[in-house]
Structure 1
């Protein structure tokens, strides 16, 4: 076989192509230097890349058989929330036996089409299961479909997905929240028992709040991100969404834990308690801190009142409820912008959803498909992503990574401020969102209105993505027939206390 012709992995550049790159980079290489660089590429670089191309990389396991499934018909697609229907089971009688599960379409399921809400990935089918998918199947979970998410997961509303808007089960004229919109709508609408979401700026908690379910963004690194599409590697989270705290804890128990050396987001000494066995320990003697700055952002007075009333009820379960101020919280979303929007542009668009400067497993087929999509059809991106791309490229050209780097440095101060408050209080409580579910935009909406709809609800959710603290939203009550979310934030890797407080509130409702 070695004598047979096969297409090279890399096309060698021409002198003219290298000269143009030199000019673009301002290097001003002389013709002799270009010739030498070309020779080095042909003799060294090209051979090295060909060798890497020919080698077999380690693959994520696909342990259980399945069929590709099918695209749902409109009549079988409540709330327009399913992207793809499937029927994948392991036959095992584990912790999730009898539970149906929806998987956000930013998370790979082998043999099932994956679109990440975007035409950029249209036609891509992964050949691997994300680690969280394998863990669900290992414990007997029944995966029945991929849930619709926002285009590239970059919107807090539910109107940017290329397959159409996802509708809120409480009022189908309103947003289901984003970006894990389909997961929240299907759980809230009793179409699936459990769902996986992803959260980089609030994308588990926003739709969970709008739809009135329980959604948990775990501590950064608790749940492996292996096999999911990345927005920015320092804020990537996967987590559970469910109708009850019990089921939320159960799914977390299954998906959390160290993934070998595949995910560098995870600490090496990570251990996972059995959350479900600790849920009902009670919260007598616990100290609850109402985060004053979190209430500052409320744009609707009823949201503030519902959350305050709900939090005060925890005193009935034996907790002490007081107020705490963390002034740094007011700048949390600003720092998130520098990290997640500017950094996300590099990771999502320039690095085609892979990120860089990290060890661990890379989903190379997902990278290739994303790169191909961004190269051939970037015009198909929604206005929310075009905003991110243009902003990110401009700042990058003018200032490099200055603001990203400074944002990461300032984030250490923000994280320390939360940690200091959590030395005094066991959890912090604040409204998940500044308002209830908004009306979906209608045809003819201005671009400014679309931006408003997509990005103005992140004040309280985004800061905990960059700080990495666990943050759970639970329905605090209703106003005008719409759910209002209450967010419970805990110490790093203390999901147990967060879940216990949520469970105590659930019992009081």
Structure 2
């Protein structure tokens, strides 16, 4: 069990690569107090675990108003009002064992645009689509294809809505005025010095790209960029909300590929590899995950199969399916994942019992 931060997919994408569960809760359900922020509107903390029961247990412990985090909303439950996610999972699993079609009330929507996002590998696309169809059908769920054209604009909206504020916050040491506490990293070496940038450039140039491109956008584009992008966030949220009136969950590929090798720090000539070469592996990884950080919908990676590592045909690596539910319906993700597990057992002839 572990806890991760997720501003664009950093709980769900690693979970996909590792073949485990990773849940980004509804925005405001879990306090972000004490964790390093990038932009308050997309900051989420979520559980990662190999077993679904551990996800439910950890979410139940983490959730609820803490009196410190200003990201909490009027809908945030007090500690004693948090839903008993673990007990709900046990109840679902008992019903699954005694019902021939336990998922007949579940309405699954395959998000059409998510399967054709740039960078989604054909094998990942096919595995997620086939697994969702086969395993949810095995428990009696109804499955339809849902089209949300605006989903394709999600990554661009995420970039425009968040990068300028990330730059102000992380580069200039100018945190959002509504934060009621100092983030932990501002108490050390702040604002970042050249040593910090050199370290990030060597180890994670994607972060430096976010910081500098945000500053560039703020200075080179008109000053209304963020305001326009935030209006698009509300439109994107409304588009997902509308789709979720007709289905209980949306299904997308999570990571667009299986896990990739770490880029070699040395190029073929023995010199340090280019920044672009190291940055390239991170481009497009969150195209199906980051839109839901903006809109606040809960999302979870569910392991759904295996594919072959690029260039290594003898190494099968995990493929992840992302499921999305309505805001404040996080328990729907747990129920859907349990039904998916059962559908896989029935399809593979291993239905002796659920954990």
The TM-score with structure 1 as length reference comes to 0.59
Deviating beyond 6 angstroms after TM superposition, the runs of 4 or more aligned structure 1 residues are none
Report the secondary structure of 1:299's partner residue: coil
1:187 is matched with none
**1:178-197 map, 5 Å:** 194-197=1-4
1:263 is matched with 69
Q: Name whichever of 331-340 and 390-399 sits farther off.
A: 390-399
Equivalent of 2:158, from 332, 336, 347? Answer: 336
Gaps of 5+ in 1: 1-193
2:115 is matched with 295
1:277 is matched with 87
2:350 is matched with none
Classify 1:431/1:376 alpha carbon distance in 2 versus 1 (closer, same or farther; 3 Å). closer
1:12 is matched with none
1:306 is matched with 127
Equivalent of 1:327, from 123, 146, 149? Answer: 149
The TM-score with structure 2 as length reference comes to 0.83
Q: Distance between the aligned counterparts of 2:254 and 2:178, measured in 1?
A: 32
1:425 is matched with 247
Tell me, yes or no, if the aligned pair for 1:283 and 1:500 is still in contact at 8 Å. Answer: no
Q: Distance between the aligned counterparts of 1:377 and 1:306, measured in 2?
A: 41
Classify 1:364/1:302 alpha carbon distance in 2 versus 1 (closer, same or farther; 3 Å). closer
Q: For this pair of structures, how many residues does the alignment match? A: 312
Deviations 1:242-263 (A, max 9, x none): 0011111110000001112x11
What displacement does 1:210 show? 0.6
What displacement does 1:502 show? 0.6
Q: Distance between the aligned counterparts of 1:218 and 1:365, measured in 2?
A: 22
1:107 is matched with none
**1:91-490 map, 5 Å:** 194-260=1-67, 262-271=68-77, 272-279=82-89, 280-281=91-92, 282-297=102-117, 299-312=120-133, 313-351=135-173, 355-359=175-179, 361-363=180-182, 366-374=185-193, 377-382=196-201, 383-399=205-221, 401-442=223-264, 443-444=266-267, 445-480=273-308, 481-490=316-325
**1:27-42 map, 5 Å:** none
Gaps of 5+ in 2: 93-101, 268-272, 309-315, 345-355
Tell me, yes or no, if the aligned pair for 2:24 and 2:46 is still in contact at 8 Å. Answer: yes
What displacement does 1:400 show? 5.9
Equivalent of 2:328, from 493, 502, 507? Answer: 493
Q: Name whichever of 362-371 and 463-472 sits farther off.
A: 362-371
Classify 1:400/1:346 alpha carbon distance in 2 versus 1 (closer, same or farther; 3 Å). farther
Classify 1:380/1:274 alpha carbon distance in 2 versus 1 (closer, same or farther; 3 Å). same
Q: Distance between the aligned counterparts of 2:248 and 2:75, measured in 1?
A: 23
What displacement does 1:375 show? 7.1
Q: Distance between the aligned counterparts of 1:200 and 1:505, measured in 2?
A: 26
Report the secondary structure of 1:423's partner residue: coil
What displacement does 1:467 show? 0.8
Q: Distance between the aligned counterparts of 2:42 and 2:169, measured in 1?
A: 11
Report the secondary structure of 2:29's partner residue: coil
